Structure 1
């Protein structure tokens, strides 16, 4: 074990404890404002679920162009994740989120007033850039603000807001679609709702502080101290600042940045591959295919179009419930444990959906309700054990000097996987049906379990600085993975 590794762990053990105080309220208010980015992420990805069919009728979309409209946001998100990760490293987390709020509003307005397929795709790409940027920058911002004792539950709030946004989209779609579905342009109203949280995010972020860890990285120590003193007890703020300053100084001496620095260090390369693997594995569960095309899956299961629109709210509700449970667990149960449980449960649900589709043929009155129940169980398992855990881990596993870069690359691959699933999921269901589709997801789930068991380290109960020391020396793979930290 290296000297710096030992010093970092000693510094963590000597941090003054968190005590009750007004700082907690300030911290939670800042987190609430920042997570409007997650709310927009969820609404803009979920609203297409109900808006696509009336949009297709008005704009004359084909099955392929429907896929293009859906996937345009996702490919844009991949680019946004990669670009905004690096942008936030240089420009700042706070300023980048303010820019994203402007992009959310601009993309929403472009889609609402789109006269044609081409303009709609352009608007969806702008929204995608904003969604991808939010998925990268907001979790990092929250993780860098949070005390390590509650980092999981605080950073995890962004994922909870994502599913709240998706649920809001499903409810708005169901209400508007069933009340005014016969009118032209109803889908434009569904899309326009997203302008409200975009405005709230913009004005809210103007009043919150920059990440203190980013400020230290840029040599702005007095500003970092001032920020920490507003969101920590005074003695804790001074101790954390000293710890962050020590790590930042070590990084400057090592001069490890960008692709070259990562590729030159086997441990940094390994943690980057872990981050990519986590993002890809999360998407290959098919969770977002359910969120984008849930109505199509339920119609395939046997529901009528209007009934499917209403039934589609059930997965959204269970996702929010699971999110609250996940937040409670994040600072109590090890990350690896939750991931292993999550991939096990989702794989079992995939197998059961495939079996139900075979045992209950089209026309069987039980078929739609059994498949709906299993889809709800899948979404609940995913949200309770996987989604929040994956996003929290992506926000905390990378060293400070490559945090924006590392999460940006990881989330780029996450969104690319998401985009291809979004583009080809309807064709996959058409080609092999629900049965084949979910059996394929089950096979990938087994591979994901193997990946987590063999490659993903433990991160719970450690400061970001202690984790950074273990990542850069490789100690996280020999120590953190095997022991239950603060269990």
Structure 2
């Protein structure tokens, strides 16, 4: 439901009077705040700066795609198929725990402070990976880097969702996904350029890794000037500060009405308490959490990161040389960016459920075709180009539909006071599955071959489509507060119906 910017009548008198004493003076003071940018321009600036966390996520996961062949040399880290998987996936193990820790920290200390802290971890861990002298040292710093990736994966979408107006929330939140795939495209491009210009240099992979320090520094400097999430401020009782932030990104009347809507949610939840794992015992929260975990697992079970991390190895297996495979990977990165643009444009028009289902259908079909052609066209000169074309098609569906919906819905479906904790849990599950895919894919590829490995993912894709069809709700065009209320209403209806059935039985 879109909010009318000229209609402040969104809340009951009860909520207004309940919090009036806390905000009257602040509202008056913030009535005409000095604003250097227009509301929309300032919101875009905040979005651009904060999503450098997504850019770093994309670069740090994508860069290993091109760095692995050079790390694997006997005069470098001398990687086996298993240690290749370990180096690639260790970041994801760290990200799983970083998601939980980052979610908790962002609930306690704020979204902005979390992103600021994480940017410094990005800088330190990137330098650690760049100067790693052994597999053990590399794995350690990749885990630390993963802590930063996991924390930003939880915090940045939540931060943007809490700042964005309902009617454009899908577009703004999925810009983070756009920055992730942009980071991967930059990684593939730099990998190809460095490999083809410095490919004979022993430590070329170190140059590939160190580039990530630049966006980390930009993120740290930029976040110094970004305000805190208004919904987080309100959750801590700082309603005056929340209003000031809202007035920087909304028209004045709408800012006031939106703050009042937030107050109603806070009032209905009781006084805002610190989120704990005990809250998960509430039936409607447990149901939402299971849906969130299901969506997160679905995104990884497509097998997307087998292509994003091992695209070079896949194309080499199909018949390309290492340098040609690195150049071919640029096509994968480029289609990911283009598809994400398309996904952003469609999200607030088409809806979340149909996009997710269509995306899964497309990814499963693409992998099925890869599996079939890998057998029927084995040793054919055309096979490498067919595999490249099908990976591009796969990524068009994945990055244009599955991934944007996944990250957007993670930021939408959870109650305000549990958002950081719940997103931490679901993203922990996402990265845990990502870790397993990253660790096991080169081993499976070596043992079973390309065709059989991808057919396994096809089976998971079919199960994922059944899950979406039966359990995933539609959240398009609804405010975060409306989404939360809808789950609570369904819970009340369920228990009322159960009570009637029990009464009839007695």
Give the TM interval when normalised to the shorter protein: over 0.9
Q: Distance in 1 between matches of 2:90 and 2:272?
A: 40
Runs (5+) with no aligned partner, structure 2? 9-36, 495-506
Q: 1:270 aligns with which of 268, 276, 287?
A: 287
Q: Distance in 1 between matches of 2:87 and 2:364?
A: 29
String of CA shifts for 1:386-441, please: whole Å, max 9, x gaps: 11111001011101011001111000000000001100101111122111111111
> Runs of 4+ in structure 1 displaced over 3 angstroms?
12-18, 253-257, 475-478
Q: Select between 52-61 and 75-84 the one with higher mean Cα deviation.
A: 52-61
Q: Distance in 1 between matches of 2:93 and 2:272?
A: 35
Check the 8 A contact 1:343/1:449 in 2, yes or no: yes
Q: Distance in 2 between matches of 1:27 and 1:220?
A: 20
CA gap of 1:249–1:300, structure 2 versus 1, over 3 A, is same
Q: How does 1:232-243 map to 2 (within 5 A)?
A: 232-243=250-261
Residue aligning to 1:393? 409
Q: Distance in 2 between matches of 1:51 and 1:258?
A: 41
String of CA shifts for 1:172-202, please: whole Å, max 9, x gaps: 0000011001012111110010000000000
String of CA shifts for 1:27-71, please: whole Å, max 9, x gaps: 000000000000000000000001112122212233222221111
Residue aligning to 2:460? 444
Q: How does 1:4-15 map to 2 (within 5 A)?
A: none
Q: Distance in 2 between matches of 1:16 and 1:216?
A: 22
Q: Distance in 2 between matches of 1:280 and 1:66?
A: 23
Residue aligning to 1:224? 242
Check the 8 A contact 2:235/2:272 in 1, yes or no: no
Check the 8 A contact 2:67/2:205 in 1, yes or no: yes
Three-state SS of the structure 1 residue aligned to 2:436 is helix
Is 1:25 the counterpart of 2:41 in the alignment? yes
Three-state SS of the structure 2 residue aligned to 1:115 is coil
Q: How does 1:312-391 map to 2 (within 5 A)?
A: 312-361=329-378, 363-391=379-407
Check the 8 A contact 1:52/1:66 in 2, yes or no: yes
Compute the TM-score of the two structures, normalised by the length of structure 2: 0.89
Q: 1:291 aligns with which of 308, 312, 319?
A: 308
Residue aligning to 2:489? 473
Residue aligning to 2:144? 126
1:316, distance to aligned residue in structure 2 (A): 0.6
Check the 8 A contact 2:272/2:417 in 1, yes or no: no
Q: Distance in 2 between matches of 1:25 and 1:475?
A: 40
Q: 2:425 aligns with which of 409, 425, 448?
A: 409
1:253, distance to aligned residue in structure 2 (A): 4.6
Q: Distance in 2 between matches of 1:448 and 1:212?
A: 35
1:473, distance to aligned residue in structure 2 (A): 2.9
Check the 8 A contact 2:304/2:398 in 1, yes or no: yes
Q: Distance in 2 between matches of 1:436 and 1:216?
A: 52
String of CA shifts for 1:59-96, please: whole Å, max 9, x gaps: 22332222211111010000000111111001100000
Compute the TM-score of the two structures, normalised by the length of structure 1: 0.93
Runs (5+) with no aligned partner, structure 1? 1-8, 479-487
Q: Distance in 1 between matches of 2:211 and 2:492?
A: 44
Q: Distance in 2 between matches of 1:356 and 1:173?
A: 28
Q: How many residues align?
A: 464
Residue aligning to 1:69? 87
Check the 8 A contact 1:399/1:471 in 2, yes or no: no
Q: Distance in 2 between matches of 1:134 and 1:476?
A: 35
Q: Distance in 2 between matches of 1:370 and 1:477?
A: 52
Check the 8 A contact 1:351/1:439 in 2, yes or no: yes
Q: Distance in 1 between matches of 2:326 and 2:3?
A: 52
Check the 8 A contact 2:371/2:451 in 1, yes or no: yes
CA gap of 1:253–1:210, structure 2 versus 1, over 3 A, is closer
Q: Distance in 1 between matches of 2:464 and 2:458?
A: 10
Residue aligning to 1:40? 56
Q: Distance in 2 between matches of 1:175 and 1:13?
A: 48
CA gap of 1:17–1:355, structure 2 versus 1, over 3 A, is farther
CA gap of 1:477–1:347, structure 2 versus 1, over 3 A, is farther
1:476, distance to aligned residue in structure 2 (A): 11
Is 1:456 the counterpart of 2:480 in the alignment? no
Q: Select between 195-204 and 54-63 the one with higher mean Cα deviation.
A: 54-63
- Point out the structure with max Rg over C-alpha: 2
